[in-house]
A = this chain, B = another copy of it.
Amino acid sequence: MGSDYPPSLRCGLPGLILSLETAFILIFWFCFSNESGSTPKDLDIYPAFQDVNVVVILGFGFLLAFLKRYGFSSTGFYLLIAALGVQWAVLVEGFLFSSSAGKIKISLHSILKGSISVTAVLISAGALLGKANPIQLIWMAMVEVAAFSTSRWINVKFLKVEEHTSLMHVHIFGTYFGLAVSWWLYHSSLSERVEKERSNLISDLFSMLGALFVWMFWPSFNSVLIVDLMERRNAICNTYYAIAVSAVAAFALSSLSRRNGKIRMIHIHHAALAGGVALGFSAPIIPHPWIAMMLGLLASVVAVLGSHCLQTYLNLVLKIHDTCGVHYMFGLPGLLGAIVNVILFIIIKWASLSSLGYLALIEVGSFMLTTAIGLGTGFITGFILTFKLWKTLPASKYFDDQAYWEFPHLASRF
């Protein structure tokens, strides 16, 4: 049956990519230039920038390479949307946050912020893994980066949220944007897991490799934007303690969740990384290691419980299909971190601040606003992505590299 063939991307994809790139180059031409001056202020963050780069480009791509027939797409399309998304994020951020006249100055910091912003897209793409084609992913990346930067701009300009905190909203934003899009791409055949939506031993090892890179460089991710050196050091140590506890707890919780006591690889990935997500906001201000460890433990519990209970019930009821479980890996731990951040803020500032209630309210408002913008824009984007125009895949071709890639064992390499 012809209708079962996945639509060829040849007309859509190259045109879309090349016109976007042409537009980007033109905008960069007329509006952007490299920051100049006698001494660069941003070279000292280069090693930490590379850690973040590894997380974004290699870590997430391989983390999501667990589907046994979707390894090329996971690693390949993640490179595509990350590399494209960073350029777009630098553009959007440049226009939103630059105040001076003349050409907008960009530097290593711009690329770094772009890389962190684009994490939102990578998280959303995790929920859609195997269901969206590259054309849909590119459009989603465009809309989501713009929406996230706007949300961040509102947070920074009007709610006076700090730069670091506003970028750490990326986990929550990415998750709820992705879930909203995922609701539109739901298909009844997804309610029971198909054969292709499984992992095998080798794809799970590749996924472990990606997970370890994200895990190891979480301290860099949570600290690189912090200006105060003492706070940066604390952010590194606190994040380390939190992810150490969440990784250890993951084994206990995963074993508890099954009657036969066996451990699930996916739980380890979810829960080990959850600790780092939960620390995003408060890593620099947590005064004692035990608080970070406690938070890591809680994040691990939330991730495994979420993956165990909500996946089975909530997603079925809401008709959401979340391929790699971003809700439990990034969403819930992110919300937990945001709430703990507010509580910590109140405790630390209790004595010294008169307008405490007002400020705490703003903190709460900030992450709720971000969640709302994420859900809202995601909902609209998801609706648009269902149009036939984007050459949507039939559900029978989900989770399969063969729809997009020429297979090496079927073809010569050149």
Contacts and interface: CB of A to CB of B under 8 A. Distances in A.
Interface in A67-95: 68, 71-72, 75-76, 79-80, 83-84, 86-87
A312 B414 CA distance: 8
Interface string A212-246: 11011100100000000110111011101101110
A204 B411 CA distance: 13
Contacts of A212: 57-58, 61, 75, 79
A237 B10 contact: no
A75 B208 contact: yes
B14 A252 contact: yes
A289 B62 contact: no
Given A58-B212, A193-B412, A80 B248 contact: yes
Interface string A273-294: 0000000000000011110011
A23 to B, nearest CB: 11
Interface stretch (A155-163, A173-181, A194-202, A348-356): A194-202
A10 B414 contact: no
Interface string A100-117: 000000111001000000
Interface stretch (A28-36, A339-347, A358-366, A373-381): A28-36
Interface residues of A, number: 130
A229 B14 contact: no
Given A54-B216, A245-B21, A290-B25, A76 B107 contact: no
A10 B261 contact: yes
Interface majority SS (helix, strand, loop, mixed), chain A: helix
A50 interface: yes
Interface stretch (A38-46, A144-152, A330-338): A38-46
Contacts of A2: none
* Number of identical protomers: 3
Give 4 closest A-B pairs by Cβ, nearest first.
A10-B261, A17-B252, A40-B233, A199-B408
Given A21-B245, A53-B216, 17 more contacts: A13-B255, A25-B297, A38-B230, A39-B229, A47-B50, A57-B212, A61-B212, A71-B201, A71-B205, A72-B265, A75-B212, A87-B241, A199-B413, A201-B401, A258-B406, A266-B413, A325-B414
Interface of A: 8-11, 13-18, 20-21, 24-26, 28-29, 32-34, 36-40, 42-43, 46-48, 50-51, 53-54, 57-58, 61-62, 65-66, 68, 71-72, 75-76, 79-80, 83-84, 86-87, 106-108, 111, 134, 193, 197-206, 208-209, 212-213, 215-217, 220, 229-230, 232-234, 236-238, 240-241, 243-245, 247-249, 251-253, 255-256, 258-266, 268, 272, 287-290, 293-294, 297, 307-308, 311-312, 325, 401, 404-409, 411-414
